Amino acid sequence: MPELVFFSGTMDCGKSTLALQIAHNRSARGLQGLNFTRDDRAGEGKLSSRLGLVTDAVEAVPGLDPYAYVVDRVSQGGKVDYVIVDEAQFLTPVQIDQLARIVDDLDLDVFAFGITTDFRTKLFPGSRRLIELADRIETLQVEALCWCGARATHNARTVGGEMVVEGEQVVVGDVNGLTAEVGYEVLCRRHHRRRMTSASAHAGVLSPDVLPVPSD
């Protein structure tokens, strides 16, 4: 049975690489897919991984109906055997509903890839709707690591290497641009809570948290 599958994880855990691998495996078997993405680091209409792999994709701008797009492609003689959606967290809840309709009404598998929470640890609306609707949710097995070596579970936004917790939910940046004006870094919960990025960690020694001692 066709499924809507949500592959989730932090930044830098190989989501886009897996999306491209799934497309490659199916293409090798003669299947033709349709790729959607939104705000990819490589630019509009591109699906790219940090390993340097890139392919063309449809930019899922607000207002685009993925279901209608697939129907139009097929009605014009195109072949669509499956759908891949990268950066799915940036899609609107309505667009996620349309992905579910592709599965239910067109009998096509839809593979969606995205991060679940933003730099404030709040769910992206698109990811929330995927969690509500997906037939299956898969957590990526490639673990991103915090600068301390622990498993990274949170996405942090940095400005000049300093972590920030206020601002627009969507600002395109990259985990490699840690000293740029706007960048991103993956952290463990402990260091996200302490707002301690790799840059600030090397700027000084972390003082351990201590329990308050009641006065006599």
On the question of pLDDT at 210 being above 80, the answer is no
Tell me if residue 87 is catalytic: yes
- Residue 113's φ and ψ, nearest 5 degrees, are -125, 130
pLDDT score of 179: 47
Alpha-carbon 178 to chain mean position? 18
* pTM, full prediction: 0.74
pLDDT score of 4: 98
The two beta strands, 136-139 and 4-8, are parallel
Beta bridge partners of 18: none
Considering the candidates 3, 44, 87, 185, report the single residue annotated as catalytic.
87
Encode pLDDT of 123-168 as tens digits.
Answer: 999 999 999 999 999 988 677 889 999 988 888 888 877 888 887 7
Closest CA to 131 of 4, 2, 32, 1: 4
